[in-house]
Structure 1
């Protein structure tokens, strides 16, 4: 399958977005620990533990994909750079399976991002077909000890819609915990299509802004808050004011 074949995962119950920074993911009766992996320079392997907390056997398919971001959203690419073992698992009730990931040679300075997809395949229990389930977790692979994010923000109009834009000029992903936007009077603005709280190295992300109390025309000041690593951060942005 060509490495350049791209596709987008449509909404497939990516619960990592809902409990992004808790210690594990619970979905129906599956638990995955941890919910992300950060491979340090020189580190080539890591593992996840998948636990079946249901009363029936779980059949799981595990795959890896290269992960990128565009202003339109996440994109995923077939990859052979992150090897999964085992690619399939049958997990008995109350039992766990260790899933190992192995990174091939990492070249270049920028961090690479991957997503591991855990698909619970449909089964048949007492004549009822179970609903298929999909969970995804991120894996980041660093090539440099000194790599760090450098996220720059601006607000501009896109097709007539005010849009918050983040551009990461750094060599490592930025974590966007607690991302909030508010008007000068304190009224919170709703960001659409938030997705996972990351902006990848070298990537650009867009969040359309829902209707505000006042029109967000050029020159209007808006307050941005995040609470990612390093503590809370706050800055004022001017609509149409550039980076």
Structure 2
């Protein structure tokens, strides 16, 4: 089990019909240098941005597209995802597999990845996973002086598998997460702590405190996810006034007030 997140959540850039993950997304430095003349990796288009496997389905589709000028080779893996002690925890699993697991995509081409459930639907409302797409470096490594550094790109996005419901075996309207907040302190730093006691995840964006007509932002993009039954925390900006109401965009619905619980 991996407790140190290998792919932390980051704000994502959205295109008109796809998710554009560029060099600023998640770059992992490799030890092997590459010649300075070699082309650096470009963007990868991934859609849909939030894939799900419905209760009446066995699989879902994920598309990868190479908009660059050189071929790319990618590895697709799916991890079980949990949250413990305010940390994301990832573990190998075999309930959902991505096929093909390794692909080479020519410039301007796209590749379908099937996200296939190999076991019956979960017996809980939803089961979370994390999809990780790694770009595999190609070419000959060089240790010559002045050589530039080779980067391996890593892209991460959530996947939720839903339970069967009733005779229709289809997922009804997703239950709303039940979230509340308080502050906590650790080594002199204040944190915003959010708990989810509901049956579905909470994706939190545009989180802020209100102070009269003004908004005091905690996060203007993606703050993060809180899975069912979990508590997560994030550092608060210094000197932020927390006496007002906390509001957030929750799973795409803006302006949701979050209940404050006792310290």
What TM-score do you get using the length of structure 1 for normalisation?
0.79
Do the aligned residues in 2 keep the contact of 1:123 with 1:130 (CA within 8 Å)?
Answer: no
Q: Does 1:81 align with 2:75?
A: no
Alignment of 1:1-243 (within 5 A): 5-10=1-6, 17-19=11-13, 23-26=17-20, 27=22, 28-103=42-117, 104-124=119-139, 130-143=150-163, 144=165, 145=172, 147-182=175-210, 186=214, 188=216, 190=218, 197-212=224-239, 221-228=243-250, 229-234=252-257, 237=260, 242=262
Distance 1:21 1:77, change over 3 A: farther
Structure 1 or 2: larger strand share? Answer: 2
Residue 114 of structure 1: CA displacement? 0.6
Do the aligned residues in 2 keep the contact of 1:23 with 1:35 (CA within 8 Å)?
Answer: no
**Distance in 2 between the 1:109 and 1:147 partners?**
12
Do the aligned residues in 1 keep the contact of 2:196 with 2:226 (CA within 8 Å)?
Answer: yes
Residue 185 of structure 1: CA displacement? 8.5
**Distance in 2 between the 1:35 and 1:21 partners?**
10
Do the aligned residues in 1 keep the contact of 2:196 with 2:228 (CA within 8 Å)?
Answer: yes
Residue 91 of structure 1: CA displacement? 0.6
Distance 1:9 1:161, change over 3 A: closer
Specify every segment of 5 or more residues in structure 1 that has no aligned partner in the other structure, as ranges.
215-219
What TM-score do you get using the length of structure 2 for normalisation?
0.74
**Distance in 1 between the 2:245 and 2:101 partners?**
45
Q: In the alignment, which residue of structure 2 is the partner of 1:217?
A: none
Q: How many residues align?
A: 228
Do the aligned residues in 1 keep the contact of 2:182 with 2:262 (CA within 8 Å)?
Answer: yes
Specify every segment of 5 or more residues in structure 2 that has no aligned partner in the other structure, as ranges.
23-41, 143-147, 166-171
Residue 71 of structure 1: CA displacement? 4.0
**Distance in 2 between the 1:126 and 1:88 partners?**
21
**Distance in 1 between the 2:101 and 2:48 partners?**
18
Residue 235 of structure 1: CA displacement? 5.1
Do the aligned residues in 1 keep the contact of 2:194 with 2:232 (CA within 8 Å)?
Answer: yes
Distance 1:236 1:77, change over 3 A: closer
Distance 1:236 1:90, change over 3 A: closer
Distance 1:22 1:63, change over 3 A: farther
Do the aligned residues in 1 keep the contact of 2:208 with 2:215 (CA within 8 Å)?
Answer: no
Residue 110 of structure 1: CA displacement? 3.7
Distance 1:171 1:235, change over 3 A: closer
Residue 51 of structure 1: CA displacement? 0.7
- Aligned partner of residue 80 in structure 1, secondary structure: coil
Alignment root-mean-square deviation, CA: 3.1
Distance 1:196 1:187, change over 3 A: closer
